[in-house]
Amino acid sequence: MTSELFLQYLFAGITYGSIYAIVAIGFNIIYNTTGIINFAQGEFVMLGGMLSISLHTFLPLPLAIAIAVIITMIIGALIEIIFIRWLESPSVLRMIIITIGISILIREAALHVWGEGVRSLPYFNGNEISSIRILSTNVSPQVLWVIGVCAVIVVLLSLFFKFTSLGQEMRACSSNRLAATLCGINTKNMVTLSFMLSAAIGALAGCVVSPITYTQYDSGTGLAIKGFTVAVLGGLGNSMAAVSAGLLLGIIEAFSIDIVPLAFQDAISISILLIILFVRPHGLFGSKEAAGLKEF
């Protein structure tokens, strides 16, 4: 493998890895306040992309993205208020089935609104063929956008959860809802907030990746599986670990093209998911101690 090809693969890996990481972080946020996996997370990414594409037909790009993110956030809040909020201490399994149902609902709605066509946002800078020379390889400026936006999201989020009182309250809800209520925290609002936050993050990711990966009504499903793999690989609930795990999976996938056909790419991430679930269910970076204290 030439060094140029190596770098080319590496950048592709990092780009996709960042996207997976963002989807995984979306999973983690909701997991952290509710203890459930929201399988509609991929649909938030799709909605962000689709809404911004539609809005961009009559609005400038930054405004279209901003409004798409806000609309997705509102949809996230509505989903929680309509489907989750009124449940009295639901079981983990019930919540998972509900979120799978929601993801199917959103996907079918999107099919009706936007049809089967593949769409995309224009490149934020330049176009399909413009490139920036880094080291000895050429990368699209959009790749830098993706990596940059992901990095900013990750840093802001970890600051939010560690240092703001709202972030700590959300973590408290995740750890023990009964105790959080007894501390005077309105747990139901925290759950709504976590749905809004992860919807917004998913939508933003959907916008920045749209020029590269294109957006279709069902493009969320694949991303959800990859994102879930990454979330488990890193250790559920740990956003920083999700980043490392995301980059790892992205790079493994990118280099695997050299060995196995492209069609097997998805099989690789599923295999990794299975292996991790069997061998290290608390993830590569999760501590066994902390995982043992969790309900799910």
Can you tell me which of 1, 129, 182, 262 binds other proteins, judged by CB under 8 A?
Answer: 182
Q: Cβ neighbours of residue 11 under 8 Å, at least 6 residues apart? A: 134, 137, 139, 143
Q: Is 86 in the site for other proteins (CB under 8 A)?
A: no
How far apart are the C-alpha atoms of 233 and 274, rounded to whole Å? Answer: 10
Q: Is 279 in the site for other proteins (CB under 8 A)?
A: no
Q: Is 165 in the site for other proteins (CB under 8 A)?
A: yes
Q: What is the dihedral of CA 169, 196, 240, 209, to 10 degrees?
A: -170
Q: Is 92 in the site for other proteins (CB under 8 A)?
A: no
Can you tell me which of 8, 131, 137, 181 binds other proteins, judged by CB under 8 A?
Answer: 181
Give the CA distances from residue 249 to residues 48, 78, 114, 217, in Å, rounded to whole numbers and listed in that order: 23, 32, 31, 24
Q: Is 85 in the site for other proteins (CB under 8 A)?
A: no
Residue 141 φ/ψ region, left for φ over 0, alpha for ψ in the -120 to 50 degree band, beta for the rest: alpha
Site string for other proteins, 185-214 (x = CB under 8 A): xx----------------------------
Q: Is 172 in the site for other proteins (CB under 8 A)?
A: yes
Can you tell me which of 43, 80, 169, 253 binds other proteins, judged by CB under 8 A?
Answer: 169
Structure tokens at 99: 């979120």
Q: Cβ neighbours of residue 112 under 8 Å, at least 6 residues apart? A: none
Site for other proteins, rule CB under 8 A: 165, 168-169, 171-172, 174-176, 178-186, 237, 289-290, 293-294
